[in-house]
A and B are shown apart, each in its own frame.
Chain A
Amino acid sequence: MKNLFKLFSIIILIITSNSNSFAAEKVEYLKTDWSFKGLFGKFDRASLQRGYQVYTEVCASCHSMKYLSYRNLAEPGGPEFSEAQAKAIAASFEVTDGPNSDGEMFTRPGKLSDKFVMPYDNVKAAQAANGGAYPPDMSVLVKARGGGVDYIYSLLQGYEEAPSNVTLDDGVYYNKYMYGNKIRMAAPLSEGLLEYGDGTNATVEQMSKDVTTFLMWSAEPHLEARHQMGFKAIVYLIILTVLVYFSMKRIWSRVESEV
């Protein structure tokens, strides 16, 4: 019995330590207290709403979020804008629809069921507008980077003067946390870049945290439901395990007494 436990823990340890070590170069990422970590982790609604503001006012000019719909903004477990707010947000975007009965495409205000409007029509257009670099889609960006939220959070604050031994081409910037340290995106955030609706002080650190929280939600929109269900499932399993254990003891007592 004990051995089984030991084996499980050893294997899990090996697996998890292995998968962490894939991010070959060990960089110490900046840390902050994420509200969504842990057994009962939930998103900070205000932070998500601010994060959406950062995304839409800063990131969205280059980065798409093609797997999200405006309706998601009002869904439980997310920023939880009111339905009216989400409708207003959707309506503030021009969506291409069609073809109409004349066979023409036309634009109309966005609806809740529409996907987030993309800044560029296609990858080529995005590359052409960004000196050949494609600003990645942000829908699942957090899950697509080894360091996850800590990496994104650090990257946003990791812009520095390049050390003297590093030469940078035009349109390339030095970032402490970027893989290979060279990044085609200029520092996107600066102190007081935007004014938060709720009056929060828009420091670079605050904006980085908010937008990263928003990206975590966009990558994992059912995170809260998952944590809640997980707790219930594991508590249930433990109860059933205990019951089965005693049942097993009772049943096996019939033979063990014979031995």
Chain B
Amino acid sequence: MSEKKTKRRDFLFTATTAVGAVGAAAVVWPMIDQMNPDASVKALASTEVDVSSLTPGNTLTVLWRGKPVFIRRRTQEEIDEARAVKMEDLIHPEKDEDRAKNPEWLVMLGVCTHLGCVPLNDKGDYNGWFCPCHGSHYDTSGRIRKGPAPWNMEVPKYEFVDANTIKIG
């Protein structure tokens, strides 16, 4: 067998294998992608919440995308406490002004950023939230202050439709 012939044969086998591998990979993708959120889940509506009955110092918990959302109507004391914290004291520095555009209202996902448990209201060393699973303490702005959680509790997209209605999502 001449050298030229060998090369051509190698090319044919390489091409066949390569084309076959591409096809196999293309077939695998639908089987993986089917586990991603489907069209109906992605289209899931935003939730509108009536907060007229919420008095200062209380928290309303609503379900949005299968997760609890805390809506806290904060007292002036809590706001002052949250705004007085120095940035360098924070594990995940975020200004309270950025987290609560309307200082009276704090809206955030009630999910501990450590491993996803739901923190308890009015608990912990910082008068905010305390996660019973692994002991993360959050302040009155929902920021992580102590414990294993790496980030502050997430603030979702929301807006006031009118004075008494918050639309989450």
Contact = CB atoms under 8 A, between A and B. Distances in A.
Interface of A: 69, 71, 75, 100-101, 111-114, 236-237, 239-240, 243-244, 246-247, 250
Interface string B22-55: 0100100000000000011001110000100000
B12 A247 contact: yes
Given A243-B12, A246-B12, A113 B19 contact: no
Closest 9 CB pairs of A and B: A243-B16, A113-B43, A113-B45, A247-B16, A71-B43, A111-B45, A240-B19, A247-B12, A250-B9
Contacts of B20: 240, 244
Contacts of A246: 12, 16
B13 interface: yes
Interface of B: 9, 12-13, 15-16, 19-20, 23, 26, 39-40, 43-45, 50
Contacts, number: 38
A113 B42 CA distance: 9
Contacts of B23: 236-237, 240
A113 B9 contact: no
Contacts of B39: 71, 75
Contact of A113 (B12, B16, B40): B40
Given A69-B40, A247-B13, A250-B12, A239 B45 contact: no
A231 B45 CA distance: 36
A244 B45 CA distance: 50
Contacts of B16: 240, 243-244, 246-247
Given A101-B50, A236-B23, A243 B15 contact: yes
A113 B23 CA distance: 35
Contacts of A237: 23
A2 to B, nearest CB: 24
